[in-house]
A and B are shown apart, each in its own frame.
Chain A
């Protein structure tokens, strides 16, 4: 996670709230939020190394599969659920999004933009599946199974009644507003379940 992504997420989080970070990795973001925002944070990760690193940092890390693990949390238990660069690697993506919006009052979701011009170039002109710093995997070993462009995600949110409260598109860490679906390498969204609101 680069610095501006970090700052964007951090900026959307109010002090003293309860946060769940799905795919928390080494717990860096939660540690930062605990320190700067005094959040009560929990992290979920399936990876042994991530769990160990998080325990070493004193993070409340729960080892588990996020595609199975959210059933154990009550509705709207968390103020914010963070899903950072993880959605594209989930299988039941729509079901997970619903779970995220069920257990959290708000969700912060970041997705790598498959519509970035280099990706378009590699596939459209080069005829090869895109490989980049953000998507560094070959087609045969990628954990990413559900690629989306920012536009795709906007459409998904509209069709599935997911309210976009805020969004930022970043190109190498700098915000872009025009031609974001071509220029941005990552999109960060602040979301809410739009069905009951």
Chain B
């Protein structure tokens, strides 16, 4: 979920097969059909930022949609022309000859509604006021995102995706696609996800939101007009989130009880882990929007397909006809393997096609961003069989 951490431990991993898609550029789609959202709010029109890699075939049957998680974007693979270090968050998985092979598939990365990376969000101008939406931007849900993504697919002339894939919150979107638009998805790859958040998950999100909302610079969400950003709140939000994306084991291995410069008997950052978290928090608060963070965590909290079906996930997924690959990681305590198995169980109950890999990996939730060979081999094998 968090790219910076993935990058810091990437040194321990190896070169991945295939190559990068190279220099890419973002695109924008303006969608003018009003979007009715789950909250009841209506967005009269909006923009979605997206990127594409590979070539859409003549029958438009080789498109794969990549859904992003909490803080990521449509920049999924390759790098920007003038920013060689700005590498897509799933570059190790997507490219020519990679597990998701862009020689075979037309891959679309899309930035979700409410984000701060190009799609319409709280920092965008509200057409009715001419000022940033701020607090007035609607609360978004996974369903809203998927509906908006479907409009983008319409605009690109894609009636059916060969696959929809995502990790973490992105996996929830892939799952949602399968039951919300069953005829439009042939395969769903749901990685390091869960059928809903546990109370503990929601609790962590609430701590993060409280950190943001109690920052005096938050101004009820309308901080733009005050020329400030609730960076303190965002820092804490990021720090708490970060802890949950890494396994205890991995954190211990990387930082242990290492000190930067001995004990100082004060409150500066003495332990390496403190310094690391502060650094991550600082970086994040510079580029991420507080209103976006609030909304994305809410989208996570609200996602619960079984809710309308008396808590019965199998009933909720009964409409889904896609074939599934579900992947979890043994040390992921944010979305543990048991949560993925609930999805598998519900699919089996409905007699659906599903393969499930439980990858033994030390990295915790963030493992889905890394190039673990066992994990990538399974995803590669799955995509290799997939007909376009």
Which positions in A face B, CB cutoff 8 Å? 18, 40, 42, 48, 51-52, 54-56, 58-64, 72-74, 77
- Secondary structure at the B interface, as helix, strand, loop or mixed, is helix
- A51 and B385 in contact (CB under 8 A), knowing A62-B344, A74-B349? no
Asked whether, in the complex, the Cβ of B374 is within 8 Å of the Cβ of A48, the reply is yes
Given A42-B348, A51-B378, A60:B358 Cβ within 8 A: no
Query: Is B341 part of the binding interface, using a Cβ–Cβ cutoff of 8 Å?
Result: yes
Complex-state Cα separation, A61 to B381, whole angstroms: 13
Which of A40, A55, A72 interacts with B381 by CB under 8 Å?
A55
- A52–B377 touching, CB < 8 Å: yes
Q: Is B333 an interface residue (CB 8 A)?
A: no
A62 touches B349 (CB 8 A): no
**Contact string against A for B residues 192-203, beta-carbon threshold 8 Å, 1 for contact and 0 otherwise:** 000000000000
Contacting pair B355 A59 (CB below 8 A)? yes
Of the A-B pairs whose beta carbons lie under 8 Å apart in the complex, a sample of 6, sorted by A's number, is A55-B378, A60-B355, A61-B356, A62-B354, A64-B341, A64-B358
What's the interface size class on B, roughly?
20 to 34
Q: How far is B382's CA from A61's CA once the two chains are assembled, in angstroms?
A: 12
A130 to B381, CA, bound (A): 39
- A158 → B minimal CB distance (Å): 33
Give A115 to B160 CA distance when docked, in angstroms.
58
A56: which of B345, B358, B360, B384 is its contact (CB, 8 Å)? Answer: B384
> Who on chain A is nearest to B353 by CB?
A60
B351 within 8 A of A: yes
- Is the C-beta of B357 less than 8 angstroms from some C-beta in chain A? yes
Q: What residues of chain A lie closer than 8 Å to B355, measured between beta carbons?
A: 51, 54-55, 59-62
Question: Which residues of chain A are within 8 angstroms of B341 by Cβ–Cβ distance?
Answer: 64, 72
Taking A62-B356, A74-B349 as known contacts, 14 extra A-B pairs with beta carbons closer than 8 A to each other, sorted by chain A number, are A52-B357, A52-B377, A54-B355, A55-B385, A56-B385, A59-B355, A60-B348, A61-B356, A62-B348, A62-B354, A63-B357, A72-B341, A72-B344, A77-B348
Interface centre among A48, A52, A58, A62 (most CB of B within 10 A): A62
Residues of B close to A61: CB separation below 8 A: 355-356
- Check B325 for interface membership: any CB of A closer than 8 A: yes
Distance in angstroms between the alpha carbons of A73 and B346 in the assembled complex: 10
Query: What string of 1s and 0s marks CB contacts (under 8 Å) between B316-340 and chain A?
Result: 0000000001000000000000000
| Minimum CB distance partner of A74 in chain B | B349
- The residue in chain B whose Cβ has the minimal distance to the Cβ of A78 is B348
Residues in B neighbouring A77, C-beta threshold 8 A: 348-349
User: In angstroms, how far is the closest chain A Cβ from the Cβ of B209?
Assistant: 34
> CA A51 – CA B381 in complex, angstroms?
10
A41 shortest CB reach to chain B, Å: 10
With a cutoff of 8 Å between Cβ atoms, the chain B residues found around residue A56 in the complex are 381, 384-385
What is the distance, in angstroms, from A156's C-beta to the closest C-beta of chain B? 29
Q: Closest Cβ of chain B: how far from A191's Cβ, in Å?
A: 22
CB closest residue in chain A, given B385: A58
Which chain A residue lies CB-closest to B325? Answer: A55
A18 and B351 within 8 A (CB): yes
B354 contacts across to A, CB distance below 8 A:
60, 62
**Residue of A whose beta carbon sits closest to that of B328:** A63
B348-380 CB contacts (< 8 Å) to partner A: 348-349, 351, 353-358, 360, 374, 377-378
| Given A56-B384, A62-B356, A40-B351 contact (CB < 8 Å) | yes
Chain A nearest Cβ from B329, distance in angstroms: 12
Residues of B contacting A48 in the complex (Cβ-Cβ under 8 angstroms)? 357, 360, 374
Could you tell me the distance between the alpha carbons of A18 and B353 in the complex, rounded to whole angstroms? Answer: 12
Q: Which residues of B contact A54 (CB under 8 A)?
A: 355
Tell me how far the C-beta of A152 lies from the nearest C-beta in chain B, rounded to whole angstroms: 33
List the 8 shortest-distance A-B pairs measured between CB atoms, nearest first. Answer: A56-B381, A63-B358, A62-B356, A55-B381, A72-B345, A55-B355, A61-B355, A63-B357
CB nearest to B324 among chain A residues: A60
- Chain B, residue nearest A27 (CB): B355
Distance to closest chain A CB from B165 (angstroms): 15
Q: Which residues of A contact B360 (CB under 8 A)?
A: 48
Q: Give Cα distance in the complex from A184 to B87, angstroms.
A: 62
**Bound state CA distance, A172 and B351, in angstroms?**
37
The smallest C-beta distance from B99 to any residue of chain A, in angstroms, reads 12
Pick from B345, B348, B357, B384: contact of A51, CB below 8 A.
B357
Whole-angstrom CA separation of A55 from B325 in the bound complex: 9
Residue in A52, A58, A62 whose beta carbon sits within 8 Å of that of B378 in the complex = A52
Minimum CB–CB distance from A38 to chain B (whole Å) comes to 13
Q: How far is the CA of A145 from the CA of B222 in the complex (A)?
A: 67
Q: Is the CB of A55 within 8 A of B348?
A: no
CA A72 to CA B349, docked complex, whole Å: 10
Cα-based distance from A62 to B347 in the complex (angstroms):
11
User: Nearest chain A CB to B16's CB is how many angstroms away?
Assistant: 17
A55 in contact with B349 (CB, 8 Å): no
The distance in angstroms between the C-alpha atoms of A134 and B294, with both chains bound, is 60
- Residues of chain B with a CB closer than 8 A to A52's CB: 357, 374, 377-378, 381
Most buried by B among A54, A55, A74: A55
- The answer on a CB contact under 8 Å between A63 and B377 is no
Q: CA separation between A8 and B349, bound complex, in Å?
A: 28
